[in-house]
């Protein structure tokens, strides 16, 4: 733990401003969302990030609840969680349902929470409220699920202007580049994806399907690095997502890593342009020197460095444990 505090102290001494994050996730559809949220908490413990809000694009009552128990586990119960209503992918998922529902023999929940789905704020409204309270051009939005919530924000009166004023950049996990099949996060809410990539007013950097596909989170880390407590919501979710042991693609984790450490050499970047989404959900970058969209690239040497960082961050214990 000394190393964690030393890193945070060094960041403070150097005057590095923590990256202000809104994490927009389809929590429950894949385990990489949970690992990505764990990473964000590690970054905050290190003084590199400040998690302002979590918003959910999976329309399921366990999605927000799981985000809340993770925030409690890492010692940050005050972080607000917003939910989508009338969204997509409402089906239950064992990786979030089981940790949320599990109780001790005494009858109490294994994982603390304060979340109430019925009373939770609408995600788009929480994004708006959060942005309104931040300095201009200071917030990075990390969208690793569907574009539902950001499309809703754009559709609200003044929403686009608010994003242009408050957001520094949007980092997404979406698409496949330079060309490929319709990617899950795009195709599941295609109208919203088309709207966001066409209308979003700030720079966009996206981590495509091809990045996380070639960097896999190792099952051995789940088996060895998360055992500092008997009950860990990340490890438990991982075990319930698929039959162990399995290594899993790191799609959402790569977006978080770039969002907080864009200049550490973990990835390369495409040239500038405009990301286009066609009616089948395929993505492409239309080159334009004046464009504000780019996608990540990764070479063999970067894969090794990136995986080491992802594992270290995702498995980092909370400060208070």
Question: Over 80: is that where the pLDDT of 208 sits?
Answer: yes
Q: What's the mean pLDDT in 164-171?
A: 99
Rounded CA gap, 192 and 150, in Å? 8
Residue 1 has a pLDDT of: 42
Task: Give percent above pLDDT 70 in the chain.
Answer: 95
Residue 3 has a pLDDT of: 46
Comparing C-alpha atoms, which of 190, 195, 139 is closest to residue 163? 139
pTM, 2 dp = 0.95
Q: Could you give phi then psi for residue 97, rounded to 5 degrees?
A: -65, -45
Residue 56 has a pLDDT of: 99
Q: What's the mean pLDDT in 76-99?
A: 98
Rounded CA gap, 305 and 269, in Å? 16
Mean pLDDT score of the chain, rounded to an integer? 96
Task: Give percent above pLDDT 90 in the chain.
Answer: 93
Find the Cα–Cα–Cα–Cα dihedral 229, 235, 237, 238, rounded to 10°: -170
Residue 94 has a pLDDT of: 99
Rounded CA gap, 74 and 287, in Å? 42
Rounded CA gap, 17 and 13, in Å? 10
CATH, domain range 2-314: 3.90.245.10
Question: Over 50: is that where the pLDDT of 112 sits?
Answer: yes
Q: What's the mean pLDDT in 83-109?
A: 98
Q: What's the mean pLDDT in 13-39?
A: 93
Q: Are 211 and 177 in contact (CB under 8 A)?
A: no
CA 181 to chain centre: 22
Cis, peptide link before residue 245, omega less than 30° from 0? yes
**Secondary structure E strands in the chain:** 19-25, 49-56, 81-82, 139-143, 167-173, 204-207, 216-217, 248-249, 268-269, 273-277, 283-287, 293-297
Question: Over 70: is that where the pLDDT of 5 sits?
Answer: no
- Please report the DSSP string for 261-294 in residue order: -TTSSS-EEPPSEEEEE-TTS-EEEEE-TT--EE
Q: What's the mean pLDDT in 299-314?
A: 98
Lowest mean pLDDT among 6-15, 109-118, 166-175: 6-15
Question: Over 50: is that where the pLDDT of 16 sits?
Answer: yes
Q: What's the mean pLDDT in 225-236?
A: 98
Q: What's the mean pLDDT in 267-285?
A: 98
Question: Over 50: is that where the pLDDT of 13 sits?
Answer: no
Within a 10 A sphere around the Cβ of 288, how many other Cβ atoms? Answer: 12
Q: What's the mean pLDDT in 158-186?
A: 98
């Amino acid at each position: 733990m000394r190393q964690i505090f030393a890193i945070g102290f060094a960041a403070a001494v150097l005057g590095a401003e923590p990256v202000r994050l809104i994490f927009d996730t389809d929590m429950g559809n894949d385990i990489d969302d949970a690992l990505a949220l764990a990473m964000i908490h590690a970054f905050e413990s290190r003084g590199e990030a400040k998690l302002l809000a979590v918003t959910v694009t999976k329309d399921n009552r366990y999605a927000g609840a799981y985000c809340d128990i993770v925030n409690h586990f890492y010692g940050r119960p005050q972080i607000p969680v917003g939910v989508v209503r009338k969204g997509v992918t409402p089906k239950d998922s064992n990786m979030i349902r089981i940790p949320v529902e599990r109780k001790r023999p005494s009858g109490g929940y294994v994982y603390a929470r304060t979340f109430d789905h019925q009373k939770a704020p609408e995600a788009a409204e929480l994004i708006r409220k959060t942005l309104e309270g931040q300095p201009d051009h200071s917030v990075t939005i990390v969208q690793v699920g569907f574009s539902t919530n950001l499309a809703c924000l754009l559709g609200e009166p003044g929403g686009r202007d608010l994003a242009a004023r408050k957001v520094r950049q949007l980092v997404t996990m979406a698409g496949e580049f330079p060309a490929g099949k319709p990617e899950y996060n795009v195709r599941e809410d295609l109208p919203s994806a088309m709207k966001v990539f066409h209308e979003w007013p700030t720079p966009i950097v996206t981590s495509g399907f091809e990045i996380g596909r070639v960097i896999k989170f190792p099952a051995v880390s789940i088996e060895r690095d998360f055992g500092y407590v008997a009950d860990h919501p990340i490890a438990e979710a991982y075990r319930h997502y698929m039959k162990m042991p399995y290594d899993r693609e790191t799609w959402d984790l790569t977006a978080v890593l770039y969002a907080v450490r864009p200049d550490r050499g973990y990835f390369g970047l495409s040239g500038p342009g405009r990301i286009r989404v066609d009616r089948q959900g395929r993505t492409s970058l239309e080159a334009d020197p004046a464009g504000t969209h780019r996608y990540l690239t990764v070479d063999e040497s970067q894969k090794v460095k990136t995986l080491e960082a992802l594992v270290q961050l995702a498995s980092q214990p909370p400060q208070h444990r």
